[in-house]
Homo-oligomer: A and B are copies of this chain.
């Protein structure tokens, strides 16, 4: 309704894409917004309500249609794989690539990649539901080659400089690391809180994230209804972002009963200024944050 689709978020992690949920119609939206599906390497499904995973079987099948060979890592509630297996069996589907399913069972680190880690945490929905935090790893220090050259550090030592080591000349003279390098941008992080009723304990899980996504199904005048249905309000999302000392907040999952969603923004910004609406196909760059500037980059 109102041209809004079920949930699916694409996180660009360097050359790989991470998918957070995959609602019905996700593929069509990917076509529309020119997302290169072949680069999707990890898919995280928060819970088994249809609006969060009904686009997945079609996507997994499409990978085969393009003869994909690269593995796909799929994370979700344990009950997901039996459903997919039954569907594959009914369709007599043979996937062209390895599909590795990882059932979510406890709060832990799921992915330890070269540049990113992903952890999962429990949220509070009507059925088993998980949130995810994607964290960039600490980046190597940046070398100032002119300074390093002036102080006679051999280029063969540069990899060690990037890791923060001091250089010691054969003579015993020490070149302190900070004289010839500077720190890279601090690592970024994104906390995806999926569908959940408001619960302040979630703030600990996403503490200090550059960007938090928190659902806001209702406006705050319906906070009782929200709690009953295990959903949150825009104001609650903002309170959570504040408690988590997040740099910025993205709210979404607005009930289809609201045609105009601008009051959500207003309500959330009252408590947490750096809020934006999760609109269809908008890309948010999670950047090294400058206060007061919300990092939306394109529509």
Contacts and interface: CB of A to CB of B under 8 A. Distances in A.
Find the residue from A1, A24, A82, A126 having the highest chain B CB count within 10 A: A24
Contacts of A28: 5, 24-25
Contacts of A31: 1
A256 to B, nearest CB: 9
B90 A54 contact: no
Contacts of A91: 48-50, 127
A55 B79 CA distance: 20
A6 B6 CA distance: 17
A61 B23 CA distance: 14
A83 interface: yes
A98 interface: no
* Copies of this chain in the oligomer: 2
Interface string A79-117: 110110011011110000000000000000000000000
A55 B24 contact: yes
A140 interface: no
Contacts of A25: 24-25, 28
Contacts of A127: 90-92
A281 interface: no
Contacts of A86: 79, 82-83, 86
B87 A50 contact: yes
A287 interface: no
Contacts of A220: none
Contact of A80 (B27, B58, B90): B90
A187 interface: no
A164 interface: no
A32 to B, nearest CB: 9
28 contacts: A1-B31, A5-B28, A6-B58, A24-B25, A24-B27, A24-B28, A24-B54, A25-B25, A25-B28, A48-B90, A48-B91, A49-B91, A50-B58, A50-B61, A50-B87, A54-B58, A77-B90, A79-B89, A79-B90, A82-B86, A83-B83, A83-B86, A83-B90, A86-B86, A90-B127, A91-B127, A92-B126, A92-B127
